[in-house]
Amino acid sequence: MNTFFITGIGTDIGKTVISAIITEALQADYWKPIQAGDLNFSDTDKVRELVQNATTKFHEEAYRLQTPASPHYAAELDGLTIDLQKIKLPFSANNTLIVEGAGGLLVPLNAKETVIDLIGLFAIPVILVSRNYLGSINHTMLSVEVLRQRNIPIAGLVFNGEAKASTEDWILSATGLPCLARIPLSKGAVDVNFVAAQAALLQPKLRKLLIL
């Protein structure tokens, strides 16, 4: 089973829409282990609404927390402690699995562990989502650095929002990572048609990842 972990260089980077596009491109299964807040319309619900293929299966979250906050704090407010050992990858017998993280790599999940510790336990490659803004080079490079320090493989980068060649080209040159996609999230509505169109463009590069 091919599995990829979608993480971002920070919060509100566009991970959920990117996850929907990649899920649709590969007709993959989708799983968000930890949902903090928005339980009436969770990220799983959002991806389900944006994906239109008949193959994708949506797996239940391991933790559904009431408050839109850092998972460690949201769990505390719910009287819980997030235990990484109890978060098990769901089995997708005949399909690729897309796992969406919460926030950035060093977002705390409990008193000692962060999102990157969860990725390390899963031992799966990361697709890193970056968005162009002042400071994004630094945030992207720091994310790449910490992933490499932990020996976590990076499948590639996805840039979203308004394109900025000087930023993106510098990051790609400095890291040596492939650009999987440039997604114009800042233009127009994000709906099933947008996701389907972007998925069709992204599909060839993603299918190459599955054979590596």
Give residue 123's pLDDT band: very low, low, confident or very high (50, 70, 90): very high
Give the pLDDT confidence score for residue 2 in this predicted structure.
87
Residues annotated as catalytic are 32
Would you say 23 and 55 are in contact if contact means Cβ atoms under 8 Å apart? no
Whether 151 shows a pLDDT value over 80: the answer reads yes
- DSSP assigned state of 108: B
The tens digit of pLDDT for each residue in 39-72 reads: 999 999 999 999 999 999 999 999 999 999 999 9
Taking residue 177's Cβ as centre, other Cβ atoms within 10 Å add up to: 16
Domain spans, the chain:
3-211
- Tell me: domain 3-211, CATH 3.40.50.300, correct? yes
Partners of 6 in the beta sheet? Answer: 100, 127
Separation CA 15–CA 12 (nearest Å): 7
> In which order are the strands placed within the sheet that holds 58-59?
58-59, 29-31, 97-104, 3-8, 126-131, 154-160, 179-183
Whether 94 shows a pLDDT value over 70: the answer reads no
Helices H, strands E: what count in the chain? Answer: 7, 9
Separation CA 41–CA 90 (nearest Å): 21
User: What three-state secondary structure class fits 212?
Assistant: coil
Separation CA 165–CA 170 (nearest Å): 8
Give the pLDDT confidence score for residue 71 in this predicted structure.
96
Give residue 192's pLDDT band: very low, low, confident or very high (50, 70, 90): very high
Cut 0.75: pTM above it? yes
